[in-house]
Amino acid sequence: MATTLDCTMSVPPSLKVGEPVQLRFQLTNPTAQPLFVLNWNTPLEGLFNNYLQVTRNGTDIPYRGPMFKRGAPEADAYVSVPAGKSVEASVEVSLAYDFTQPGHYRLAFRNELLDVTPNQAEVPHPLERFQPMTVKCPAVETTIVSP
């Protein structure tokens, strides 16, 4: 697929131990046509899989959230990203990763959207017809300090 999506994330630059860690995730469609994105394994769906790499002072933090097994998607699992517009979502990543220790944290999106199509009439794709898309989403960082 010759189309692309731009991806950005943000978190507060500094938080105290015990405060929620809200990650804001945004996909922007710079093309002249709408794109339809399967929200699975992205913050657009919530925290239902391990789609982030989280480290504290360079050490991986394991994912402790739910892991969904899935069949074929329904049409409502797709998010429309209009031409020239953005969609965004926020998730509290501290519900699925351990942010209880002070330190420097880095959060990186694993960079793959499972299925993206410009044709709404094709939504939902059966699993064997998924059209994955790699997106470059710069990692974000925060520092957690003692209260």
CATH code of residue 78: 2.60.40.2970
CB proximity list for 81: less than 8 A, separation 6 or greater? 5, 27, 28, 29, 34, 35, 36, 37, 87
Domain assignment present for residue 131? The answer is: yes
Domain count, the chain: 1
List the one residue out of 28, 62, 41, 46 whose CA is nearest residue 112.
41
Residue 93: inside a domain, yes or no?
A: yes
Phi, psi of 120 (to 5 degrees): -60, -30
Residue 113 within any structural domain of the chain: yes
Question: Is residue 101 a part of any domain in this protein?
Answer: yes
Residue 1 lies in a domain: no
Q: What is the pLDDT of residue 1?
A: 47
Q: Which domain holds residue 107?
A: 6-145
Q: What is the pLDDT at residue 147? A: 87
What are the residue ranges in the chain where pLDDT is below 50? 1-2
Give, in order, the Cα–Cα distances in Å from 13 to each of 48, 76, 122, 131.
Answer: 25, 34, 41, 35
φ, ψ at 105 (rounded to 5°)? -110, 140
